[in-house]
Amino acid sequence: MRPLVATIDLAAIRHNYALAKRCAPGRQAFAVVKANAYGHGVREVVAALGEVADGFAVACLEEAAEVRAVLPHGRLLLLEGCFATDELPEAARLGLDLVVQDAAQLDALLATPLAQPLNVWLKLDSGMHRLGLGADAVRQAFARLRQAPQVGELNLLSHFACADERGHALTEQQVEQFLALLDLEFDQRSLANSAAVLTIPAAHMDWLRPGIMLYGATPFAELSAAELGLRPAMSLTAQLIAVREVAAGESVGYGASWVAARPSRIGTVSCGYADGYPRHAPSGTPVLIHGTRVPLAGRVSMDMLSVDLSDLPQAQVGDAVELWGAQLAVDEVAQAAGTIGYELLTQVTARVPRRYRG
């Protein structure tokens, strides 16, 4: 078997969910498990949180069906709503909480008889300008939906654009836009993503929506997961499968982009971009061997990458290599590669086996 595995610590995910709840006493929280629980395995994560989570949130009907296979009951929020009218009966059958984010979704809902009413979340575009209705359209939709037989609870939801940049002026404007609609008697309200859960108490409302924080990565550039009290959930671990000596002036890897400035010892690691490791990670991006950071050397290949072992003479074939995880934060690797932890976690491909503990 190829020596590469993503070990998922389910106890860490439970810890991080509990931390989200402690940030906002008395509030409820949808655990966001879209995109295969950010690459961690949706069925296993839902099973691990099933006894403690107030609800879950997903992006599409297919993801909702997968959660329902594990969790027959309980609240399950469809974050983007239904993409076609013929999905609405299935949403009702699955007992979903349904986002309505535009006029077409609103009209489709009101025109479709359903076997049971759904909890509906009107989505306000408070400044993100991605999905959602303007404030006036929310007021009009509220009036149309309040007595509709398709609707159980009628709730309000919005999403922050810049909550991960502390003190950004747009965040305060978005909170104000949201609060300005609360003269309408919504049953429940939800605004806070991970960044707002952690740092914006005014946004906590009735329901939190923790996402990236559940998996032990930080939404902030300047605050680490450890500083926030989060525990990393995924450790991506490979192995040194070859070691060779390279003379000064010799190159390593595709494109000969890395050239040894001194006699160097180069290790080959059993992980590449087909596994989800970022191809654009530059030379110098750290991996961890024997608890020591060593730098990438040259371009990441499809199935392998190379590291410079010159300053770690004890490293040898068969040694474990942590690409990110318990000792090397995924956010540090992401920063070196010019991206964010979200992308690295969600891009770990299906060919990497997941092993679960805790």
* SS3 annotation, the chain: CCCCEEEEEHHHHHHHHHHHHHHCCCCEEEEECHHHHHHCCHHHHHHHHCCCCCEEEECCHHHHHHHHHHCCCCEEEECCCCCCHHHHHHHHHCCCEEEECCHHHHHHHHHCCCCCCEEEEEEECCCCCCCCECHHHHHHHHHHHCCCCCEEEEEEECCCCCCCCCCCHHHHHHHHHHHCCCCCCCCCEECCCHHHHHHCHHHCCCEECCCHHHHCCCCCCCCCCCCCCCCCCEEEEEEEEEEEEECCCCEECHHHCEECCCCEEEEEECCCHHHCCCCCCCCCCEEEECCEEEEECCCCCCCCEEEECCCCCCCCCCCEEEEECCCCCHHHHHHHCCCCHHHHHHCCCCCCCEEEEC
Catalytic residue check, 254 = yes
The answer to whether 109 touches 143, Cβ cutoff 8 Å, is no
| Separation of alpha carbons 234 and 348, rounded Å | 10
- The residue annotated as part of the active site, out of 21, 34, 215, 273, is 34
**Both tokens assigned to 19:** 């931390």
Burial class (CB in 10 A: 0-12, 13-18, 19+), 225: buried
Catalytic residue check, 34 = yes
N-terminal to C-terminal alpha carbon distance within the chain: 24
Is 234 assigned a ligand-binding role in the annotation? no
Is 302 assigned a ligand-binding role in the annotation? yes
- Active site members: 34, 254
- Sequence ranges of the binding site for substrate: 130, 302
